[in-house]
């Protein structure tokens, strides 16, 4: 995949219900697997954050562990601090590599 392909790729949108059961739209920023684990993770940002264009860094990014069963996507919150640190470190490393290749 070239850099140009990534820029024009259609964003993947998922719907995640909040505590009241209202579905909120999120854009999938990145999907990845952590080395040494068969767990898959995705990083998402709320689409409502797009209306506030002050700074890209101000967007809140959420991480979920996920499983795909056919067309079904199951999301799991990351509650273990050790797992969260591993996901955050992997995400930051991948983000740095992307920024490096674009810069």
Q: Is the full-model pTM beyond 0.75? A: no
- Give 47's contacts (C-beta < 8 A, 6+ positions apart): 13, 24, 25, 26, 27
Burial class (CB in 10 A: 0-12, 13-18, 19+), 29: middle
Domain range holding 88?
3-102
Count of structural domains within the chain: 1
Q: Are the beta carbons of 101 and 93 closer than 8 angstroms?
A: no
At residue 35, the pLDDT reads 76
Which residue, 60, 62, 23, is CA-closest to 43?
62
- Give 84's contacts (C-beta < 8 A, 6+ positions apart): 63, 78
Burial class (CB in 10 A: 0-12, 13-18, 19+), 40: middle
Which residue, 23, 36, 37, is CA-closest to 75?
23
pLDDT in tens, the chain (103 residues): 444 444 556 889 999 988 899 999 999 999 998 877 789 999 999 997 545 555 455 578 899 999 988 888 899 999 999 999 999 999 999 989 988 988 7
């Amino acid at each position: 995949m070239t850099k140009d392909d990534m820029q024009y790729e259609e964003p993947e949108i998922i719907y995640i219900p909040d505590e009241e059961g209202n579905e909120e739209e999120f854009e999938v920023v990145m999907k990845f697997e952590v080395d040494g684990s068969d767990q898959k993770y995705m990083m998402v940002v709320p689409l409502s954050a797009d209306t506030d264009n002050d700074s890209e860094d101000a967007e809140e990014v959420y991480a979920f562990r996920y499983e795909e069963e056919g067309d079904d996507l199951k999301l799991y919150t990351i509650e273990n601090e050790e797992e969260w640190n591993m996901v955050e470190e992997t995400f930051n490393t991948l983000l740095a590599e992307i920024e490096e290749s674009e810069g």
